[in-house]
C-alpha cells in the first residue's frame, strides 16, 4: 500500500475510533514520523498515556518537517498535560511555538500560545495564562478565533478576581459567537456570562442574559439548552431571594430533562437540589 493511502487508512481508523486497528497499521511503517503520530493519537484514545508520549517522542526523533513537527510537539504537550506533567507540557508547547514562528504559520502560532495559556491555567498560574491568551489573540484572523481568545481571557480574569474584566471579555466573546459560532458555543458562552453577572450580584444583567439565551434556544429548537438555562437561571433567582421564580424554572427544567433523558442535565438537576 502506498504511503499516502496507508496514512489515510490510519487516520480514517482514528476518526472511526478503531484505535487497535490504527496502531496495527502504524506499526507497519515504524520508520516514518507521521505513522508514530497516528499511533500516539490512537494510544491516547485508548487512555494509554505513557505509551502515547513515547510514540510522540519517537515521531520527533525521526526529524519530521513542517506541520508534522509542530503537531508532534503539540500532541506530546497534550499527553504531558493530561498526565499533569505541566512543566514538560509547557516546554513541548514552546517548541511548537518556536517552529510555528520559524515557518510563519500564523494559525499554529496562535494555537501554540493558547495551549501554553491552558497549561499555565491548569497549573493555577493565571497571570502567565492571561499573557499567553493575549499573545494568541493578536494573531486571531476571524471572529471565531477572536471569540475563542476573549473567552479564554475572561476565564483568566475571573481567576485573577477581576470581575469587570472577566465580564467585558466574556461579553465580547458572546457577541462574536452570536454571529459566527455554533449554537452550542454561543449557548455555553452565554451561560458563563450569566454566571459571571450573578457572581457580581448584577442580577438584572444575569436575568437579561438568561432571558435572551432562553429565547434563542427556544427559537432554534435547543431543548437541551432551554433546560440548562432554566437550571442556571434558577440558581440566580434563588440568590436574589426569588424562591417561587426559582421553583418555576426548576420545574420547567425537570419536565424537559425527563423527556430528554440527558446525563448532563440529570447531574445538574441533582446538584441544584
Instruction: Name the CA radius of gyration of the chain, rounded.
Output: 22
Q: What is the pLDDT of residue 221?
A: 84
Q: Are 26 and 1 in contact (CB under 8 A)?
A: no
Question: What span, in angstroms and rounded, lies between the C-alpha atoms of 201 and 115?
Answer: 32
Q: Report pTM.
A: 0.90
Average pLDDT over the chain, rounded to an integer: 96
Is 129 part of a structural domain of the chain?
no
Cβ count near 45 (within 10 Å) = 16
Question: What span, in angstroms and rounded, lies between the C-alpha atoms of 48 and 253?
Answer: 38
Q: Are 114 and 150 in contact (CB under 8 A)?
A: no
pLDDT band at 30 (very low <50, low <70, confident <90, very high): very high
Is 273 part of a structural domain of the chain?
yes
Q: What is the pLDDT of residue 2?
A: 58
Question: What span, in angstroms and rounded, lies between the C-alpha atoms of 143 and 160?
Answer: 25
pLDDT band at 273 (very low <50, low <70, confident <90, very high): confident
175 has a pLDDT exceeding 90: yes
Question: What span, in angstroms and rounded, lies between the C-alpha atoms of 54 and 59?
Answer: 9
Q: Are 239 and 261 in contact (CB under 8 A)?
A: no
Q: Are 222 and 210 in contact (CB under 8 A)?
A: no
Is 223 part of a structural domain of the chain?
yes
Is 231 part of a structural domain of the chain?
yes
Q: What is the pLDDT of residue 3?
A: 67
1 has a pLDDT exceeding 60: no
Q: How many domains does the chain have?
A: 1
Q: From residue 220, give the alpha-carbon distance in Å to each of 127, 186, 208, 225.
A: 38, 12, 18, 10
Mean pLDDT, to the nearest integer, of 199-209? 97
Q: What is the pLDDT of residue 4?
A: 87
Is 105 part of a structural domain of the chain?
no
Q: What is the pLDDT of residue 248?
A: 97
Q: What is the pLDDT of residue 191?
A: 98
Is 182 part of a structural domain of the chain?
no
Residues 125-157: tens digit of each pLDDT: 999 999 999 999 999 999 999 999 999 999 999
Is 132 part of a structural domain of the chain?
no
Is 210 part of a structural domain of the chain?
yes
Question: What span, in angstroms and rounded, lies between the C-alpha atoms of 217 and 222?
Answer: 4
Mean pLDDT, to the nearest integer, of 175-193? 96
Could you tell me the maximum CA-CA distance found in the chain, to the nearest angstrom? 68
Tell me the residue range of the domain where 263 lies. Answer: 204-273
Of residues 91, 93, 103, the one with CA closest to residue 135:
93
Q: From residue 180, give the alpha-carbon distance in Å to each of 183, 215, 232.
A: 9, 18, 24
Mean pLDDT, to the nearest integer, of 169-198? 96
Question: What span, in angstroms and rounded, lies between the C-alpha atoms of 38 and 25?
Answer: 9
The helix (H) or strand (E) run that includes residue 81 is helix 66-82
Cβ count near 169 (within 10 Å) = 26
Of residues 240, 235, 186, 238, the one with CA closest to residue 213:
186
Residues 231-272: tens digit of each pLDDT: 999 999 999 999 999 999 999 999 999 999 999 999 999 999
Mean pLDDT, to the nearest integer, of 35-58? 98
DSSP state at residue 162: -
As a residue count, the chain comes to: 273
Residue found by looking up cell 478565533 in the block: 145
Question: What span, in angstroms and rounded, lies between the C-alpha atoms of 273 and 262?
Answer: 17
Amino acid at each position: 500500500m502506498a504511503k499516502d493511502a496507508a496514512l489515510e487508512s490510519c487516520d480514517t481508523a482514528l476518526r472511526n475510533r478503531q484505535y487497535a486497528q490504527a496502531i496495527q497499521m502504524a506499526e507497519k511503517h515504524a520508520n516514518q514520523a507521521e505513522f508514530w503520530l497516528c499511533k500516539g493519537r490512537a494510544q491516547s484514545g485508548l487512555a494509554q498515556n505513557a505509551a502515547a508520549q513515547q510514540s510522540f517522542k519517537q515521531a520527533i526523533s525521526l526529524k519530521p518537517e513542517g506541520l508534522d513537527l509542530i503537531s508532534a510537539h503539540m500532541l506530546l504537550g497534550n499527553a504531558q498535560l493530561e498526565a499533569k506533567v505541566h512543566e514538560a507540557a509547557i516546554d513541548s508547547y514552546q517548541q511548537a511555538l518556536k517552529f510555528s514562528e520559524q515557518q510563519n504559520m500564523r494559525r499554529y502560532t496562535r494555537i501554540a500560545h493558547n495551549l501554553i495559556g491552558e497549561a499555565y491555567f491548569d497549573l493555577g498560574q493565571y497571570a502567565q495564562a492571561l499573557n499567553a491568551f493575549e499573545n494568541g489573540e493578536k494573531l486571531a484572523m476571524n471572529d471565531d478565533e477572536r471569540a475563542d481568545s476573549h473567552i479564554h481571557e475572561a476565564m483568566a480574569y475571573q481567576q485573577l478576581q477581576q470581575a469587570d474584566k472577566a465580564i467585558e471579555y466574556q461579553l465580547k466573546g458572546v457577541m462574536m459567537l452570536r454571529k459566527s459560532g455554533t449554537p452550542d458555543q454561543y449557548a455555553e458562552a452565554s451561560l458563563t456570562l450569566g454566571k459571571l453577572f450573578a457572581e457580581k450580584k448584577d442580577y438584572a444583567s444575569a436575568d437579561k442574559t438568561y432571558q435572551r439565551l432562553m429565547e434563542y434556544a427556544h427559537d432554534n429548537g435547543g431543548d437541551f439548552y432551554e433546560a440548562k438555562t432554566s437550571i442556571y437561571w434558577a440558581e440566580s433567582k434563588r440568590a436574589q431571594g426569588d424562591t417561587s421564580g426559582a421553583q418555576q424554572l426548576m420545574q420547567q427544567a425537570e419536565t424537559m430533562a425527563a423527556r430528554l433523558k440527558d446525563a448532563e442535565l440529570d447531574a445538574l438537576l441533582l446538584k441544584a437540589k
